[in-house]
A and B are shown apart, each in its own frame.
Chain A
């Protein structure tokens, strides 16, 4: 399980970094999304991977799942979602204002 999650995390981050370095805005936005997915998953995993454990105090239970990373990741997801929406609108605006979708706004197609 840990190995699988690590591979997924690595792949997401690598894809994100590659896409961010592209010259058009749409891949860059996708790259940012991948990176924030990777960060969210990473944050969630930091509470350790457990199966079938309760997150709140229950009678007769000694092992718990850590509830805090879940709360953290929820906040991070919401913020990431808002930021993605904003950056999509901004890149559309940039496309309209600059006439192309190059991140520096000067590439001739």
Chain B
């Protein structure tokens, strides 16, 4: 008897998106209720899946009851359930913010939002490489439209770059899939893992080429060093709620890297074992440096937030690149932290920018902003969170990464780069914080700037700040429950580093030869 809950996170947003499409656009409040209810249900579904996978082993759902490796399968293991939970929680906060602000500036926001979640959930759950491509396309097509939501010159320009580079990425993905199918005759991930390990000598080169092509695609999604340039412009110019949701998009790339290069090209892959070891770590270190330089050099608050995303993906992939149990645990702890923190930063940047009139989020001397005390406290907390100062979760994440790196041969590099970039990040956010909150005050006297009188008409500032506060509370929960979270991450890492468990769950005992 198959457990149908595995496919529910894919079906639910699809169903709701279709329903939303049928509802007349004018009836926005009903759309909002439906959309929020759907995301809330996805949080519950993710929690149920987490429960199921923490007690049992791996849940496999054969779509149409076609047995693997012939049919398409969905696989819910601990990692997939964990990612589902993170994306559902993030989506909930982003959606609440969008309902307050930006969902009415264009059409079909909620439809696209649900389709985006469909793509994300599918990408986390699928156990088939071609199916992963399809879910990638779904989430990308939704993300293109969400990115352009509301229109505008800069948004269109950044959107064009984003779309073109991702289309090239999709083509590369197809080539990689083609090579793998042509040489190994399967696209089921578990089956691939078996076949890659047993690939004959004349195919090894092609399999390795396909492996590196896939790495290129995932690195593009994750915004790793040579191909990160699409990210800052795209994230800085879209609406805040969308940018907050996109904080999970780079993590999809990181998730795929973790999944494919532990399962298919992992330790036990014979001639293609540990394929990207030696590439991932140096690139991640370089990404962290370049990202942090971007943070320092940013001229706008939202641009700074976008570069912080680049830097965080650097830290995350350093952890995964260590290729050890402890490294994966550290990465898995850092992943939700960096996602929530980046989203909070984007939302906060938008709230601050909306109070500064024409200056918006530019780093210029501006008027004193409304509710500066409350916003100041929140900005301060988010800043120390994202830079990684104690006592918040960023510190624990970075500490775990450094601890995991202690036995690594590149320790001096890892240690110095992480610590140095943390310092750079601290300087950068402290500078923007003082510009936004302290030096604005002194400008009050010289209020020749007409925007100084800008007042924002908002019902209640606490309602507006709710999503930000919830995201920060999630990060605080990560500190309080750091023990259980790292313990669970440890069980995820154990499962990942023993691909035979996954293979046996998918293919049965016959899969292991």
A residues with CB within 8 A of B = 16, 20, 25, 28, 32, 35-36, 38-40, 42-43, 45-48, 68-69, 72, 75-76, 79, 82-83, 86-87, 90-91, 93-94, 97-98, 103-105
A87 touches B161 (CB 8 A): no
**CA separation between A47 and B181, bound complex, in Å?**
8
Residue B500 is within 8 A (CB to CB) of chain A in the complex: no
**A104 CB contact (under 8 Å) in B141, B144, B157, B175:** B157
Alpha-carbon distance between A40 and B177 when the two chains are bound, in angstroms: 11
Closest-by-CB residue of B relative to A16 is B171
| Beta-carbon contact of B160 and A91 below 8 Å | yes
A43 to B176: give the CA distance in the assembly, Å: 9
**Contact status of A90 and B159, CB under 8 A, knowing A35-B168, A79-B137:** yes
Are A46 and B179 in contact, CB atoms less than 8 angstroms apart? yes
Partner-A contacts on B (CB < 8 A) = 130, 133-134, 137, 141, 144, 148, 151-153, 156-157, 159-161, 163-164, 167-168, 170-171, 174-175, 177-179, 181-182
Set B144, B153, B167, B174: member contacting A97, Cβ < 8 A: B153
User: How far, in angstroms, from A105 to B153 measured CA to CA in the complex?
Assistant: 9
A20–B153 CB distance below 8 A: no
Minimum CB–CB distance from B192 to chain A (whole Å) comes to: 14
Is the CB–CB distance between B134 and A32 below 8 Å?
no
The residue on A at minimum CB distance from B134 is A75
Cβ-closest chain B residue relative to A43: B178
Q: Of A32, A45, A47, A79, which contacts B164 at CB under 8 A? A: A32
CB <8 Å contact, B157 and A35: no
A residues near B174, Cβ cutoff 8 Å: 36, 39-40, 42-43, 76
B157, B164, B175, B177: the one contacting A105 at CB < 8 Å is B157
Contact B179–A94 (Cβ < 8 Å):
no
Residue of A nearest to B130 (CB): A72
Cα separation A90 to B99 with both chains bound (whole Å): 26
Q: Which residues of the other chain, A, contact B167 by a CB distance below 8 angstroms?
A: 32, 35-36, 83, 87
**Using Cβ atoms and an 8 Å threshold, which residues of chain B touch A39?**
171, 174-175, 178
Determine if A90 and B160 form an interchain contact, defined as CB atoms under 8 angstroms apart.
yes
Beyond A94-B156, A97-B156, A98-B153, is A69–B163 a contact (Cβ under 8 Å)?
A: no
29 residue pairs A–B, Cβ–Cβ below 8 Å? A32-B164, A35-B171, A36-B170, A36-B174, A39-B174, A39-B175, A40-B174, A42-B178, A43-B177, A46-B178, A46-B181, A47-B181, A47-B182, A69-B178, A69-B181, A72-B177, A72-B181, A76-B133, A79-B134, A83-B141, A86-B163, A90-B156, A90-B159, A90-B163, A94-B159, A97-B156, A98-B153, A105-B153, A105-B160
Q: Which residues of A contact B161 (CB under 8 A)?
A: 103
The answer on a CB contact under 8 Å between A97 and B178 is no
* B181 cross-chain contacts in A, Cβ below 8 A: 43, 46-47, 68-69, 72
Taken together as a complex, chains A and B put the C-alpha atoms of A90 and B163 apart, in Å, by 9
Query: Cβ of B177: which chain A residues have Cβ within 8 Å of it?
Result: 43, 72
| Contact, CB under 8 Å: B168 / A32 | yes
With A16-B171, A46-B182 known, 19 other A-B pairs at CB within 8 A are A28-B164, A32-B168, A35-B171, A39-B174, A42-B175, A42-B178, A43-B178, A46-B179, A68-B181, A69-B178, A72-B177, A72-B181, A76-B133, A79-B134, A79-B170, A90-B148, A91-B160, A97-B157, A103-B161
CA A98 to CA B130, docked complex, whole Å = 37
**Residue of B141, B144, B160, B178 touching A94 (CB-CB under 8 A):** B160
Residues of A within 8 A of B160 (CB): 25, 90-91, 94, 103, 105
Residues of B near A105 (CB, < 8 A) are 153, 156-157, 160
Q: Is the CB of A82 within 8 A of B164?
A: no
**Residue among A72, A91, A93 with most chain B CB within 10 A:** A72
Which residues on A sit within 8 Å (CB–CB) of B134?
75, 79
